[in-house]
A and B are shown apart, each in its own frame.
Chain A
Amino acid sequence: DVKVTQSSRYLVKRTGEKVFLECVQDMDHENMFWYRQDPGLGLRLIYFSYDVKMKEKGDIPEGYSVSREKKERFSLILESASTNQTSMYLCASRWGGRNNQPQHFGDGTRLSIL
């Protein structure tokens, strides 16, 4: 079974801190994604990566950056955390290209910025 592991289930940080959310997948997937999920707004794509060292902006990249130094790991960085970044963060991975393999998600990180 595919395993997508997010480093923390719950995280509490202070305004202005630099926050790192880590995601690791064990299936050698090329594509990895970071979403945030808020009530009434659904899933929104922050950043994604098609391969190592590659990154693409999603729909709401402002205030975030990412790092993909190794294929299995995709990190989301909040450069200077703000209260409006309090949210559920979800990481996902899948094979690249045109194929019929499903996308898999981690269990999520509930981040609170105080």
Chain B
Amino acid sequence: KQEVTQIPAALSVPEGENLVLNCSFTDSAIYNLQWFRQDPGKGLTSLLLIQSSQREQTSGRLNASLDKSSGRSTLYIAASQPGDSATYLCAPYSGNTPLVFGKGTRLSVIA
């Protein structure tokens, strides 16, 4: 059964810093991996979907990488802003099975 771990569980950084969030998964037979953002009391917003054939996917200041063979993905946030403060979750997808979620990394960007 797929298990997903996100480290660190919480992170606090000053505004402007570049940062990396980590996601590891136990079953490398995945089709793609999705990164989400969740603001307090809200639903999940899809940020990036990275396909198994890709190594990277970019959207604005966000860059996600995927190394299927080692069971790892990272989310890089450049020039962090207070508005980036949220919980970030990753979820690998194995094809017509439910997504499996990590518990997330809670990010605080201090102005």
- Contact-residue size bin, chain A (C-beta under 8 Å from the other chain): 20 to 34
Binds A, one of B10-18, B44-52, B75-83: B44-52
**Residue tally, chain B, CB below 8 Å to A:** 23
Known: A42-B104, A100-B49, A100-B51. A108 touches B96 (CB 8 A): no
A106 and B44 alpha carbons, distance in the complex (Å): 7
> B46: which A residues are within 8 A, CB to CB?
102-105
> B103: which A residues are within 8 A, CB to CB?
40-42
> B49: which A residues are within 8 A, CB to CB?
100-102
| Contact of A45 with B by CB under 8 A | yes
| Contact of B99 with A by CB under 8 A | yes
> A41: which B residues are within 8 A, CB to CB?
103
| Contact of A68 with B by CB under 8 A | no
**Quick one: CB contact mask for A78-114 with B, threshold 8 Å, 1 for yes?**
0000000000101010001110111111111010000
| Contact of B74 with A by CB under 8 A | no
> B34: which A residues are within 8 A, CB to CB?
102-103
**Quick one: CB contact mask for A4-42 with B, threshold 8 Å, 1 for yes?**
100000000000000000000000000101000000111
| Contact of B43 with A by CB under 8 A | yes
B103, chain A: closest CB distance, angstroms: 4
Known: A42-B101, A102-B49. A97 touches B43 (CB 8 A): no
A94 and B31 alpha carbons, distance in the complex (Å): 14
| Contact of B98 with A by CB under 8 A | yes
| Contact of B89 with A by CB under 8 A | yes
Q: Are A110 and B32 in contact (CB under 8 A)?
A: no
Q: Are B32 and A108 in contact (CB under 8 A)?
A: no
| Contact of A48 with B by CB under 8 A | yes
